[in-house]
A and B are shown apart, each in its own frame.
Chain A
């Protein structure tokens, strides 16, 4: 198992006029045997970062270490990808279409000068763990999405890599299969103890697999921490949005609090700028018709129900402030529906309001 250290890695791509900065001075350490997630919107450079770790791309600047060994630095690949002991699952899975599942999984082993029996033993072993033993003589096109993904995972794991890279491995799966696939990846990682890096734009992947997460925005690593900490204390509204659903309201700072239309949010400290963005997670909001006598919930004002939706067994209620700013919306999930155009009281959980200076 290997420890990954990235030091000041930058990557520029040449374009017709000048450069595009894909990664900007990224420094990061992933401990040996850890599960690390890289979260970011599309185009943030997360796949580029993973490809640099894999050795498929060279960093324009900076150094990359595997344990104490320098593998790439300043536009030079020192250890080529095939010698880095990496198993990678691509977003498209990249199975060899002309080979059966067995031969796909065996492919890395055939490059290692092993005996036929040894190869068969190892392929069958990993196939058993991933529950694809019965489809080994099928071609990729004959397999379901979930089976293809497990074949790709088996191919990545069969060579006993020290590092497992997953590039959006679940985005091509049916939504209902994703959770079991995530659980499977985590179980296998725990069993083998391999260092794991997963790249995704879906926070669900990060929460279910990673112990630590780094958030990439426009090529910059803006926040690193445990997923819960990043969720609760995001450094910017962008990060807050990436790691989960959040209500964004534009407000004005006054002595009594942040004013959004007729709503007034409590202030925890003073802010320099006058215009700020108020962020509240849907689970930190409550709409009621009656007053709540609980000091954990703070009344911020009155609103009117705008849209009622239904999602995942809950009613998704959108409320706008009663007066002032009708473009602002607050969303939460409730177990019962409200009527449209109904007036409600808006409560927020104490200490949950996040204020971002613009």
Chain B
């Protein structure tokens, strides 16, 4: 574990109006959600104007916050304190004894700025008045031995904001892309049956995402996590009249719920293990300081990994993400490419010390996170090959790239993972919005093979931005994807001379394969969409400015954001000052114990390798060229063809089998839909219900039936036979005598009177003669 006590030095905590009032950023879209929900339909632009205003205001604030953060770091001279040597020197001065005598996370710069208030508490001592302090304390102390931090200590749930490099980076990304998507959507979903609802949910999503990004406690993170899930559910199922859409929405939500088991359990374990705290910095601190056992950390990391797998579309819980393309395209760009799906990656980053220690990343060669990431990145890349639907290609590409980020974090390349998250958001959003623009032109079809082809002449702006996005994604230098992807490959430490955190050979190979795959499937996608001859029946045309302007902005971003994190060696070799290097790393990477920089077990930054960059780029270019050749040859044979009729898959049985496996998406959907969901809903649920109706209820009914039988027996033979018989006999005799006597009662008053007089006469006679 990292030797915290060696550090002495200063804790630098920045302060600024923007940090203290950062809660305004999620509050603005949240307010906009309420306004749109209440008044949206009555507004002239059906609520879109409210959403756009709010998100632009939030973007403005986020931008100012970002600038303040960067300025603060730059004033501290973060750049020079960064390099390995400088860190080694300044490292020992990083920490001080905190005021409460507890070891704390110490930062030379860029400490998280936390503003929180207690949301509510249960069983906190402050709330106890009547019980008597001694009694409560005694009870708490008495069993402290058996039960760790003390039973009845209560818990307090804070709500607040945590501003550090990572959250600032996401604030920027989310508000930026959300603003563009809001604007883009005014054209794209124009005239939709639920235009207002659409904007309401976009606002709600933006608010929840920002709420999650800023969370200072795990419980706030869970709340935000679930809220973005619901927004995703609502937006995927935006056109819920059609069953496939609502099916996709359900699938997304349920798959995420599966991961949420891990989230809930993992967070619970961490809460207790870190000494009853929900605070993210405190949990990290406990993980770093070795207060939590390795086993506990591993279990909680694995649990949280399940959550990451579902949210960030990692194998084997990725199947919902391609289906989520049933939602409107801008939603896919915002939620299912740039922001929400990276929540898992963000979670790993937030609790990085937990994962780092839990998986024992330092000095390792493989671990669960790196392996899952690697598997996802290759598996997703392969699947992107067999799609006809342009959005599905991009969706699988997103799966693959998310795998890349997880892989990066799994090998200890924190900054590389975060940087890839950052760059990916721009070029993938660009590609998705481009795909939306294409389908806008082709009668809302996404089928590349049937309805596209040769579109480059009809829609040049879309074409060029799409090409830039593709090149960035494929890692063609000097576009954004190149820098981040290269950094991840370097970070695995498997390439000679890179000195990573360990030697992660298998993830490295996965990464290289993906570099080739990405270029190949994107070339296929570009060819099928923009080259060849137009195969559809619409009249394609370029989209309007509200669609193309966001595309151009994103393409520009995709070009330059990679320069934010250039290696020192490169910067120096092209003649720029070393101040240009590692900007992203300086701004985003939390400095200090939290990320173990320079520590004995801490993660190191691998050394970049020119050779590796050349190899990876070469692989990508070669793969792209092969695909290009394939399609140009095909085009020469038949301008409208999209595949060879006698391709490899039809000649070689092994290839055919492989193709089928890919077409069936590794049969995972069958497994989930038919076996897991079908099994639970079908046989298992029916069995449980059968048990309920026949066994449990059977017992109840049998008890009822038997008591009825007993009752009937008692009734028939005892009650009716003996007891009632006696009653009946007396009754019968009464009624028989009555029947006899009623004959006298003729109803003739005169007869009664004569009887009366007769009787009176007899009585008189008796009186007279007897006495």
Asked whether A and B interact, the reply is: no
Q: A residues touching B (Cβ–Cβ < 8 Å)?
A: none
